[in-house]
């Protein structure tokens, strides 16, 4: 199995480029199922989550090809209707095929995802939304089977602004009969990107990016040729790296308008963050000031940046309270950071982080993607050598993270672990 080995203490300087967003690419790949034709997504990053969804699309009978020009999905014929347990358990985002399959073909059978490393994560709101649109939902043998002759537009009020739930319902509504209104919709830039793409395919979606999205269903959609939005979480991870390691890092592709909450916190913590052509530049100078953070749905502070920001606070000056409100169990990085000498205590939904002067390198591992990224960041400032194992978590959502950090001057490499 691969691991990442880091020799801490290097300053980071230079320019790094972010890839298109994993969490935009996944729903967009599912949206390709809506159109009888050959769709293209440009510059799709080589991530294992992307490969998992590609496998699922192939399992459904669509053609998938990776090339220099991007990722092609040929959904002219899609005979399959089922997302099997093996794929859904590897990646929950597999449930994104539900909306498109039911909308275009009237039937889908999807393994119900179980809990995962960061929380229970049910999909009840996806299903209630589809029911409101006239679908019949039956749960049997661990699978949900959803059928509808043709979905009908409906008014759907979400209990919580679920991201993939909003996306699933938006895709379903794109081919439904009449108007769907999703209230308390997720406002994430990836939702907006999906709406932009659906509209380019001939869909009629308004209001994405706000909490009320209106979709007028159409009879047919055409294939897409789309460049997904840059990955704000990858960008944020490099911004934190820059703030943590001193020096000056330019993150090309970082969109300031997608990173407001993080940038505000980085500035409060004493980092300089400035807009530059095509991106953001961060300058860290000495230990960060400790600041409190509370995660929330967009435009709040992203839960997907909570672990990485905690690595910065672990060596901050003072006391920081980091509160996680989106997922109930997303502090798996805490015991590992403590093994590196951090002083962090979890109390309910909050982590109390008492900044320490130095971390010391250790062998660590994480159980999810963003927690793994936090351990890599901690390794960059720790004394001595850190080895982060279970790199397959990182490879789900970061394209060549170690190469990109090495390009900034970090002493980091991928090794093979016995």
Among 17, 48, 107, 116, the one annotated catalytic: 116
Q: Which is nearer to ligand EPU, 129 or 284 (CB)?
A: 129
List residues bridging with 139 in a β-sheet: 144
Question: Based on CB atoms, which residue is closest to ligand EPU, 27 or 279?
Answer: 27
CB 113 within 8 A of CB 123: yes
Site string for ligand EPU, 184-223 (x = CB under 6 A): --x-------------------------------------
> Which helix (H) or strand (E) covers residue 196, if one does?
helix 189-200
Among 75, 125, 262, 412, binds ligand EPU (CB under 6 A): 125
- For 35-56, b/e burial (b = at least 16 CB within 10 A) is beebbbbeebbebbbbbbbbbb
Q: Which single residue is written with the structure tokens 């001939």? A: 202
Q: Using CA atoms, how far apart are residues 233 and 231, in angstroms rounded to an integer?
A: 5
Nearer to ligand EPU, 261 or 362 (CB): 261
Interaction residues for ligand EPU, span 290-309 (CB under 6 A): 303-304
Closer to ligand EPU by Cβ: residue 126 or 281: 126
| Distance between CA atoms of residues 230 and 181, nearest Å | 27
Verify whether residue 116 is a known catalytic residue: yes
183 contributes a contact to ligand EPU by CB under 6 A:
no
* φ, ψ (nearest 5 deg) of residue 126: -60, -45
| Interacting residue with ligand EPU among 9, 36, 106, 122 (CB under 6 A) | 122
Query: What is the C-alpha separation between 52 and 145, in angstroms, rounded?
Result: 21
Residue with Cβ nearer ligand EPU (97 or 362): 97
Would you say 336 and 371 are in contact if contact means Cβ atoms under 8 Å apart? yes
The total of other beta-carbon atoms located within 10 Å of residue 87's CB is 18
Half-sphere exposure of 164 (CA within 13 A, CB side): 20
**Sheet harboring 293-294: ordered strands across?**
293-294, 319-323, 350-354, 343-347
Does the footprint of ligand EPU cover residue 232 (CB under 6 A)? no
Q: Is 52 in the site for ligand EPU (CB under 6 A)?
A: no
- Residue from 26, 103, 282, 408 touching ligand EPU (CB under 6 A): that is 26
Of 57-65, 122-130, 279-287, 377-385, which part binds ligand EPU (CB under 6 A)? 122-130
Give the up-direction half-sphere exposure of residue 358: CA atoms within 13 A in the CB hemisphere.
Answer: 8
- The nearer residue to ligand EPU, 99 or 246, going by C-beta atoms, is 99
Site size toward ligand EPU (CB under 6 A) is 24
- CB neighbours of residue 246 within 10 Å: 18
Show the CA angle centred on residue 138, arms to residues 132 and 144, nearest 5°.
Answer: 95
- Work out which of 104, 109, 265, 370 binds ligand EPU, going by CB under 6 A: 370
Stretch that binds ligand EPU, among 7-15, 124-132, 241-249, 311-319 (CB under 6 A): 124-132
Piece in contact with ligand EPU (CB under 6 A), picked from 29-37, 119-127, 175-183, 359-367: 119-127
For ligand EPU, the binding residue among 72, 238, 301, 327 (CB under 6 A) is 327
Least Å distance, CB 326 to ligand EPU, is 5
Which residue, 111 or 164, has its beta carbon nearer to ligand EPU? 164
Scan residues 159-178 and list those touching ligand EPU (CB under 6 A). Answer: 160, 162-165
Q: Is 371 in the site for ligand EPU (CB under 6 A)?
A: no
Please tell me whether the peptide bond between 307 and the residue prior to it is cis, using omega within 30 degrees of 0: no
CB 193, CB 229: distance < 8 Å: yes
Catalytic site residues? 116
| Residues at the interface with ligand EPU (CB under 6 A) | 23, 26, 93, 119-126, 160, 162-165, 186, 303-304, 326-327, 369-370, 397
């Amino acid at each position: 199995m691969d691991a990442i080995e880091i020799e801490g203490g290097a300053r980071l300087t230079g320019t790094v480029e972010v890839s298109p967003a994993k969490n935009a690419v996944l729903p967009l790949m599912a949206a390709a199922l809506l159109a009888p034709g050959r769709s293209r997504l440009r510059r799709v990053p080589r991530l294992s989550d992307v490969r998992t969804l590609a496998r699922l699309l192939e399992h459904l009978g669509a053609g998938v090809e990776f090339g220099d020009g991007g990722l092609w999905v040929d959904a002219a014929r899609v005979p399959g209707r089922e997302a099997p347990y093996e794929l859904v358990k590897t990646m929950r985002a597999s449930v994104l095929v539900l909306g498109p399959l039911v909308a275009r073909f009237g039937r889908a059978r999807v393994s119900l995802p179980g809990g995962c490393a960061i929380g229970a994560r049910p999909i009840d709101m996806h299903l209630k939304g589809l029911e409101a649109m006239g679908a019949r939902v039956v749960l049997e043998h661990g699978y949900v089977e959803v059928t509808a002759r043709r979905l009908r537009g409906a008014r759907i009020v979400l209990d919580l602004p679920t991201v993939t739930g909003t996306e699933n319902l938006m895709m379903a509504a794109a081919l439904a009969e009449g108007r769907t209104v999703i209230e308390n919709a997720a406002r994430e830039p990836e939702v907006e990107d999906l709406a932009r793409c659906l509209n380019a395919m001939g869909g009629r979606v308004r209001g994405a990016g706000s909490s009320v999205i209106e979709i007028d269903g159409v009879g047919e959609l055409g294939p897409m040729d789309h460049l997904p939005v840059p990955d704000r979480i990858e960008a944020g991870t490099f911004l934190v790296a820059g703030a943590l390691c001193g020096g000056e890092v330019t993150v090309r592709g970082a969109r300031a308008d997608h990173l407001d909450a993080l940038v505000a916190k980085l500035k409060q913590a004493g980092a300089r963050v400035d807009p530059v052509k095509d991106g953001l530049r961060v300058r860290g100078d000495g230990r960060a000031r400790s600041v409190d953070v509370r995660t929330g749905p967009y435009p709040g502070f992203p839960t997907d940046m909570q672990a990485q920001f905690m690595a910065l606070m672990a060596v901050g000056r003072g006391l920081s309270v980091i509160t996680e409100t989106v997922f109930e169990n997303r502090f798996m990085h805490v015991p590992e950071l403590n093994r590196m000498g951090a002083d962090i205590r979890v109390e309910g939904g909050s982590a109390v982080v008492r900044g320490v002067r130095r971390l010391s390198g250790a062998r660590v591992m994480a159980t999810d993607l963003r927690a793994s990224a936090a351990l890599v960041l901690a390794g960059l400032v720790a004394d001595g050598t850190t080895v982060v194992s279970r790199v397959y978590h990182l490879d789900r959502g970061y394209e060549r993270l170690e190469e990109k950090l090495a390009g900034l001057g970090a002493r980091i490499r991928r090794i093979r672990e016995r």
